[in-house]
Structure 1
Amino acid sequence: MSKDRPLSGKLVVLTGAGGIIGRVATGLFVRNGARLVMVDRCEQALTAAREALGDDKAAAFAMPCDLTDPRQVAELAENVGAEHGPVDALFNNVAGKTQNIFAPFEHFPLDEWNEVMAMNLTTAMLCCQHFGAQMAARGQGTIVNTLSIYGIVGPDQRIYDGAQYEGRAINSPAVYSAAKAGLWGLTKYLATYWGPKGVRVNAVTPGGVYSGQNETFVDRYSARVPMGRMAKAEEIADAMLFLASDGASYINGQNIVVDGGLTTW
């Protein structure tokens, strides 16, 4: 492995590749030598993310997939193996939401609760079942799961009064906290389950990433952060890259919290 290109020669699967963090991670991973399988259920977002790579797009392969569908995940794993070979690193980076994601907890629809849990937790379980099992059989590999600060601490409800994103009132829904807390539990379980077989399983927990939230929210959120600002997607992707590199070869079952110190209070 080249220290200058820590993913050189590695086949990497990145889910949620068309999202806010995923788009940035796509470019970072390819620039650092990865052959990258980009996965997202939105084909348009995948195409845009791949085209943004410019001359580097030859190293990236867009594979649309609804990761909540077990059959599609099985087909994805089979196709990746047949077309590109064994996977060295899996990034479970999906962050999905529904139409009523910001409904009050007391009235949150059960069907949407189950849907959000499926997108944010079950997708990772299914991907780990297939790609992680292949890694364990080979005796090597790494998995990095993207969590949320609200999977490890409760949200400060006070900062959401008047908060908006793209003109829509926002809050921090309970189902998202539950899903990401569950993903942290899965991370620790698999770290002990597959660690003896040479597979490392870790997590990155992003703080709030600026992506167009209104000034009211940005100011209130930033006031809660010792560093006084929201995160940049690049800062999250850098931590993801590190955990997949050989520089993290003895790191297993850990969670790098990239939140500017918010959860330190």
Structure 2
Amino acid sequence: MRVEGLFSLQGKVIVITGAAGLLGRRHAEAVGIAGGIPVLLDKSEAALREAASYLESKNVPSFHCETLDITNEVDVSTCCEKVLSKFGHVDGLINNAANNPAVKENDDLDKDFSRLENFPLSQWQQDMNVGVTGAFLCAKYFGYAISKNPEGGTILNISSDLGLIAPDQRLYRKEGVSENNQPVKPVTYSVAKTALIGLTRYLATYWADKNVRSNVLCPGGVENGQGGTFIQHVSSRIPLGRMAKADEYQGTVIWLLSQAASYVNGSVISADGGRTTW
């Protein structure tokens, strides 16, 4: 096979959760440019319309959108049946959906809800449902569909550098705020992203005999309108000296989905500018 053919996704149906988000639509764009058919799943119909307009502006020739709450098993099962009915097969799954709770969930200055001792159980359950349970359910149905293909396929879970290291809470400190009320990165994001690494390893062995490869990508933070001071502080912790651009993960996504990565299975791929090496 020629080198350019190794990276082709021609005719491959790739399901993407959280596809209307900042990175989700970039994953969909990458799949489409590589010749695949991205199936965009997201809870928000309005956001999916915006994502569709984005893909059209990027000249992605073929894609499909479905609204879906990935925490609802009946809905996931039904959606999988619809996709199979339309395309006849599913070749890949990108578990990209996640809640990313704000550092501060409440304007009450006397009770910072981002702190562990104040963090609401309801928020924990919601974040874990989306980030972990949703990925499990999509693997259960779409992954099983992939395992039925004669040539198998791929599952790519999107974790984070915070699935490998703890948040540096110094990034979120505010002057003039008492120690007990200092904002922090909430607990659920790191826990959910770490859980995806465990799910990846499980899946990498579960359907290996069906040639279903499972890997996890751990991207670093993306510059997206954060304050200049925050960007500067984060960048100082990254050997490359900057945060990522939104499109800088596309090549890695195509590689992991394609035959170019045919012997890559159960791998944890860091793409964080070197942050987790420090």
Q: When the two structures are superposed, what TM-score results if normalisation uses the length of structure 2? A: 0.88
Counterpart of 2:171 in structure 1 is 159
Larger mean CA deviation between 127-136 and 48-57 belongs to: 48-57
Q: Distance in 2 between matches of 1:204 and 1:175?
A: 18
Within the candidate set 131, 135, 159, 2:142 is matched to 131
Q: Deviations over 1:162-208 (max 9, x none)?
A: 49xxxxx9742111111111111000011011112210000110101
Distance 1:97 1:238, change over 3 A: same
Amino acid at match of 1:89: G
Residue 51 of structure 1 contacts residue 57 of structure 1 at CA under 8 Å; is this kept in 2?
Answer: no
Larger mean CA deviation between 176-185 and 94-103 belongs to: 94-103
TM-superposed deviation, 1:251: 0.2
Q: Deviations over 1:234-264 (max 9, x none)?
A: 1122211110011000000001111000000
Q: Deviations over 1:110-129 (max 9, x none)?
A: 11101100111111100000
**What SS does structure 1 have at the residue aligned with 2:74?**
helix
Counterpart of 1:143 in structure 2 is 155
Residue 158 of structure 2 contacts residue 216 of structure 2 at CA under 8 Å; is this kept in 1?
Answer: yes
Distance 1:170 1:218, change over 3 A: farther
Within the candidate set 15, 18, 41, 2:17 is matched to 15
Unaligned segments of structure 1, at least 5 residues: 164-168
**What SS does structure 1 have at the residue aligned with 2:23?**
helix
Q: Distance in 1 between matches of 2:207 and 2:260?
A: 19
Counterpart of 1:179 in structure 2 is 192
Residue 162 of structure 1 contacts residue 217 of structure 1 at CA under 8 Å; is this kept in 2?
Answer: no
Q: Distance in 2 between matches of 1:110 and 1:130?
A: 28
Within the candidate set 52, 55, 58, 2:54 is matched to 52
Matched, 1:223 2:236: yes
Within the candidate set 40, 45, 50, 1:43 is matched to 45
Residue 37 of structure 2 contacts residue 63 of structure 2 at CA under 8 Å; is this kept in 1?
Answer: yes
Larger mean CA deviation between 234-243 and 2-11 belongs to: 2-11
Matched, 1:103 2:114: yes
TM-superposed deviation, 1:138: 2.7
Matched, 1:84 2:87: yes
Amino acid at match of 1:31: I
Residue 69 of structure 2 contacts residue 75 of structure 2 at CA under 8 Å; is this kept in 1?
Answer: yes
Larger mean CA deviation between 178-187 and 91-100 belongs to: 91-100
Percentage identity across paired residues of the two chains: 41
Pick the structure with more helix per residue. Answer: 1
Distance 1:249 1:223, change over 3 A: same
Q: Deviations over 1:51-91 (max 9, x none)?
A: 12227455111101011111110111010000112101110
Greater C-alpha radius of gyration = 2
Q: Deviations over 1:86-142 (max 9, x none)?
A: 101110000224573962111111111011001111111000000111222335010
Matched, 1:255 2:242: no
Larger mean CA deviation between 233-242 and 98-107 belongs to: 98-107
Amino acid at match of 1:244: L
Within the candidate set 227, 238, 241, 2:254 is matched to 241
Pairs aligned (count): 260
Amino acid at match of 1:147: S
Amino acid at match of 1:124: A
Q: Distance in 1 between matches of 2:68 and 2:252?
A: 25
Amino acid at match of 1:149: D
TM-superposed deviation, 1:43: 0.9
Within the candidate set 37, 42, 64, 1:61 is matched to 64
TM-superposed deviation, 1:29: 1.4
Residue 114 of structure 2 contacts residue 185 of structure 2 at CA under 8 Å; is this kept in 1?
Answer: no
**What SS does structure 2 have at the residue aligned with 1:47?**
helix
